[in-house]
A and B are shown apart, each in its own frame.
Chain A
């Protein structure tokens, strides 16, 4: 079980790294699709079938929208301009050394806090459900639904569902406002 999840995470990391370095934008979008679909397998291995169904369809729709954006515009990535070398100037400046030193210090701080906080996390698999024991034992009689996740989403935590519907609505308003300027002025 853990080895299977480790393998899936390695695939996700490889896909994510390639998506950032691809020269062609269409290859980057396909590699981003690899990350999304490997996440579906990870959700199924972690016993979450509701999330797997939603993630499959959401990933497909997101890929279709991204490819339609690429068809309208362009397919190539930008040329990474090489650093111009001035004859006779040294490559090592004081500013570069300060930047590298600051980056190392901040990375060290980040790593220290990360190690401290993950040592306090429970071991993977030893999760003790404190808040959810009440929902699991009595959820079926209190809400009448035998799908506990739906019972929590619509009955115990209905307010969060209202918030999600509002965010989705706002995003649609934003997209329509960005894409449909009727009465275009020149140059816009």
Chain B
């Protein structure tokens, strides 16, 4: 129970970073920290006490207590997707730096007005 609360605290730290930091690289880092906390939360939910890894030693011998394999299958794809979106955000950030010479989000206001 304490583990779930701390996982949520990590999510809140990421959310705080997205809302209050002005540097674009720190916003991207905080967004990625939010994704890590979500992945950890799913695997924490699927853990069974005393369970073993979901790989059989020989066909037909299922161990008695096995950790849930379904959240692991979901999060396996989510990790690679997280890397892809972070790379896309970094490409946008480096383009913005080329044009405006700064990473400050309050100075990037070409669409305003």
Contact = CB atoms under 8 A, between A and B. Distances in A.
A and B touch in the complex (CB under 8 A): yes
Interface of A: 1-2, 5-6, 9-10, 12-13, 16-17, 19-20, 25, 28-29, 32, 35-36, 39, 42-43, 46-51, 54-55, 58, 61-62, 65-66, 69-70, 72-74, 77-78, 114, 118, 121-127, 129, 131-132, 135-137, 140-141, 146-149, 152-153, 157, 160-161, 163-164, 167-168, 171-172, 174-175, 178-179, 187-188
Contact of B97 (A28, A73, A141): A73
7 contacts: A5-B3, A9-B3, A47-B52, A47-B53, A48-B72, A72-B97, A74-B97
Given A48-B43, A153-B77, A171 B87 contact: yes
A173 B95 CA distance: 15
B45 A127 contact: yes
A137 B64 CA distance: 10
Contact of B44 (A36, A77, A124, A160): A124
A78 B10 contact: no
Given A6-B6, A9-B7, A47-B67, A149 B47 contact: no
A171 B9 CA distance: 29
A35 B88 CA distance: 21
Given A46-B43, A124-B47, A164-B80, 6 more contacts: A19-B26, A47-B53, A136-B62, A146-B56, A161-B77, A174-B88
The secondary-structure label for the interface of chain B is: helix
A187 B82 CA distance: 32
B12 to A, nearest CB: 9
A109 to B, nearest CB: 14
Given A20-B17, A135-B69, A35 B76 contact: no
Nearest to A58: B83
Interface of B: 1-10, 13-14, 16-17, 21-23, 25-26, 29-30, 32-33, 36, 39-40, 43-49, 51-56, 58-60, 62, 66-70, 72-77, 79-88, 90-95, 97, 99, 102-104
Contacts, number: 216
Contacts of A126: 48-49
A49 B75 CA distance: 12
Contacts of A35: 33, 36
Contacts of A54: 76, 79-80
B30 to A, nearest CB: 6
Contact of B9 (A13, A123, A141): A13
A36 B30 CA distance: 12
B90 A123 contact: no
